[in-house]
Amino acid sequence: MDALASSPLGWLCAGVAALFGVAVLWVAKRSPVEKVEVLVWSLLPASLGLLCAAALGAGGGLVVCAITLLSSVYLGGRALLPVGDRAVLITGSDTGIGHALAKYLDDLGFVVFAGVLNKDGPGAEELRRTCSQRLSLLQLDITNATQIKEAYLKVLEKVQNTGLWGVVNNAGILGFPADSELLPMSMYRQCMEVNFFGAVAVSKAFLPLLRKSQGRLVNMSSMAGGIPLPRYAAYGASKAALSMFSGVMRQELSKWGIKVAVIHPSGFQTGIQGTSDLWDKQEKELMENLPADTREDYGEEYLLGLKSYLLHVPMYCDADLSPVLSAILHALLAKRPHGLYTPGKGAYMTLCIFCYFPLWFYDFFIRKMLMS
């Protein structure tokens, strides 16, 4: 032990473990139980490191300390809280990810509040038929302040003093994928109204209940909200705004014990592109608002091909939503959830290329990817 005390590596080993312990104790502000738990996880690498340093020398102790530290962080990140009677609100549960998530969380035992755009629609009817009595359907157009208030009062009546554990802002629209110049201003406003302002309004309304439970706020953004993608200016800008909002909320709400996560999935088949009737309406609006010189510059063949592009989008999307559902579950129940999740093929890779490579390389990469 004398050799350990006089060894710089030995002191480094103990110092790193001590620093880790102080950090996790500072983060764990919730309860004495959690403080004891993280204290155990921080003392474990310190103890093993010191023991191995005495037996193997300072270098061996430092290696064991580092390995144990990394293992404890990894295992701590994978540990999930019990479901218990936790209640979660999901917006946009009529179809797609919101619909699948409502079923998934209901099967796991959550008390689910499924917000739907049409309480009498087929999506809502299927949830009534297939889910348990714990699930409650809420008429919730997130652009309607009155419906948000009514949904809040209904949730408050049911959760009473326990608070609401989670809010998943999933509701969103894609709009008509087309070059930025071609999109009418109404499309930009509609995407912002639903994808951003709607999510902000829901978050603000339900934050008092999240504060009471020290719960979770999960916002469904998109890969297009983290990287620029051609033809997705309106959609991508609204999702980028939501991602930035999520990051700010993560910082501001940490003092209340509320954890905030944003999901950036890659392409999944969710039905967000809407129906053929909606495409026809959006295409007509786009064409009617085009100046004659712009129409001439792009050419009729290119403009007519925009709808064909939209029809082919689902072919390149994954039908299996389980990676997204697993990411949301981790964000809701992990003891140490991530701030950002990138489920799906290519989501994390393209984000890294955009962030760490020259922009000319990213642009080249995206052109090649979209041509394939």
pLDDT confidence of residue 61:
55
What is d(CA 109, CA 366) in angstroms, rounded to the nearest whole number?
41
Looking at residue 80, the DSSP 8-state letter turns out to be B
Q: Specify the CATH number of the domain 87-371.
A: 3.40.50.720
pLDDT at 189 over 50: yes
**For the residues of 252-319, what is the DSSP string, one character each?**
HHGGGT-EEEEE----B--STT--HHHHHHHHHHHHHT--HHHHHHH-HHHHHHHHHHHHHGGGGSBS
User: What is the average pLDDT across 137-146?
Assistant: 98
* pLDDT band (50, 70, 90) for residue 71: very low
Q: How many CB atoms lie within 10 A of CB 281?
A: 13
Contact status, residue 167 vs residue 258, Cβ threshold 8 Å: no
pLDDT at 192 over 50: yes
pLDDT at 24 over 90: no
pLDDT at 276 over 70: no
Is 356 annotated as catalytic? Answer: no
Contact status, residue 138 vs residue 125, Cβ threshold 8 Å: no
User: What is the average pLDDT across 47-52?
Assistant: 63
Tens digit of each residue's pLDDT (9 = 90 or more) over 321-352 = 899 999 999 999 999 999 999 998 888 888 99
0.85 cut: is pTM over it? no
pLDDT confidence of residue 308:
72
What's the half-sphere exposure (Cβ side, CA atoms, 13 Å) at 65? 30
Summary mean pLDDT of the chain: 83
pLDDT at 65 over 90: no
Rg for the chain, CA atoms, rounded: 24
Token output for 294: 């712009």
How do the domains of the chain map onto residue ranges?
A: 2-78, 87-371
Contact status, residue 83 vs residue 29, Cβ threshold 8 Å: no
Q: Between 342 and 52, where is the model more confident?
A: 342
pLDDT confidence of residue 288:
80
pLDDT confidence of residue 320:
82
pLDDT confidence of residue 32:
44
> 152, 235, 316, 341: which is the annotated catalytic residue?
235
Q: Between 312 and 64, where is the model more confident?
A: 312
Q: Between 61 and 180, where is the model more confident?
A: 180
